[in-house]
Amino acid sequence: MRKTEDFSISFEVSEYSRNDKNKSWRFVYDWLDSLIYAILLILLIFAFFFRVVGVNGDSMNPTLQSGDWLTVSAITNEVKTGDIVVITQPNSLNEPLIKRVIAKGGDTVNIDFIEGTVTVNGKILYEPYIAEKTEISGDYVYPLEIPEGYIFVMGDNRNDSLDSRFRTIGLIDERYVLGVAETRIYPFGDWKINNDK
């Protein structure tokens, strides 16, 4: 009788131990499964909805500072004048650019480097976002008509920005616009991009 009881107790302990191990493995499996789905979801969001881009340089001061991190909308039906965009068109700097759209295809740009004003289609732009008046001319002759499918971009730090005023950057083919800057995620707490148009 004693042997039967010992066997029964031993069997119950062994069964309990096996169930405990199964629960542990089930927990690890469920955790890994959730982690994989979360990573796939993040990759899909980044691929189809938005990207995170860092600002390098001072060409967009005072709106953006070097070291800022931005979310960039990857779904852009149409780039608008005044949008801050990320550009992947090959250039002399061999890096993506972050600039403001000044004019689009069909627009005519004129810059008065004495007055420091930028005119699009005969209207002087209201530009509260620039660091100072536009005094650096670049190597284009104005007025300049922008062909369809292209945009003319400039940095907000007009006198320290390599942009569409220079042939080394030139007019930007719209197909090379990665997206429109939406939100500043770093530094923390300073979310809004001053995007007055």
List the one residue out of 87, 85, 140 whose CA is nearest residue 110: 140
Q: Is 99 one of the annotated active-site residues of the chain?
A: yes
Q: Could you say which of 14, 59, 80, 92 is catalytic?
A: 59
Q: Is 59 one of the annotated active-site residues of the chain?
A: yes
Whether the Cβ atoms of residue 133 and residue 113 lie closer than 8 Å to each other = no
Whether the Cβ atoms of residue 93 and residue 188 lie closer than 8 Å to each other = no
Q: Could you say which of 99, 104, 161, 164 is catalytic?
A: 99
Give residues with Cβ within 8 angstroms of 85, minimum separation 6: 79, 98, 99, 100, 101, 151, 153, 177, 178, 179, 180, 181
The residues carrying an active-site annotation are 59, 99
